[in-house]
Amino acid sequence: MSQHLREHFQHFQAITTRWHDNDVYGHVNNVVYYSYFDSAVNSYLIEVGGLDIHQGEVIAFVVSSSCDYFTSIAFPERIEVGLSVSKLGNSSVHYSLGIFKAGEPQACATGRFVHVFVERASSRPVPVPQPLRAALNRLLCD
């Protein structure tokens, strides 16, 4: 199954592009895609996994990310970020992501994103907490 297709992803997060996302070329600047990835992943972790980004003892750090671009998007446009987990380790998780124009079957961009869960106080890796692990298991792709 192609990672460029909507059917590859287990969860979708709706996002509306913003006026300042466009660059001088009239499309969303490449670096903004990373903020879409970050927003989609963290929204899922907070809403489904119960991650407490303000007071929790465990937080997640991005340690690796990349993106491949296929088709431009621009403001004003409604997009959806597809989210799947390709690998769930003891303290880390590897996400597969896709940026889609609302309802479109083919991704405009795809990306990879790795989180390491750490103790907030020490920034040392810790096992993925059980509620987060359960939420991430729901996103595991075959």
Give the closest residue to 41 by CA, choosing from 2, 103, 105, 84: 84
Give the position of tokens 């987060």: 132
Which residues span the domain enclosing 100?
A: 6-137
On whether residue 142 sits in a domain, the answer given is no
Could you give phi then psi for residue 120, rounded to 5 degrees? Answer: -55, -45
CA dist 94 and 87 (Å) reads 5
To the question of pTM greater than 0.95 for the whole model, the response is no
CA dist 18 and 22 (Å) reads 8
Express each pLDDT in 26-57 by its tens digit. Answer: 999 999 999 999 999 999 999 999 999 999 99
pLDDT of residue 1: 38
On whether residue 56 sits in a domain, the answer given is yes
Query: Which residues are bridge partners to 83 per DSSP?
Result: 11, 97
Q: Tokens for 3?
A: 């990672």
Express each pLDDT in 92-128 by its tens digit. Answer: 999 999 999 999 999 999 999 999 999 999 999 999 9
CA dist 66 and 138 (Å) reads 23
Cα 101 from chain centroid (whole Å):
16
On whether residue 1 sits in a domain, the answer given is no
Is 3 a residue whose pLDDT tops 90? no
Express each pLDDT in 76-100 by its tens digit. Answer: 999 999 999 999 999 999 999 999 9
Is 142 a residue whose pLDDT tops 70? no
Is 8 a residue whose pLDDT tops 50? yes
CA dist 116 and 114 (Å) reads 7
Domain containing residue 34: CATH number: 3.10.129.10
Q: How many domains does the chain have?
A: 1
On whether residue 23 sits in a domain, the answer given is yes
Please provide the average confidence, as pLDDT, over all residues in the chain.
95
Coil/strand/helix, residue 3: coil
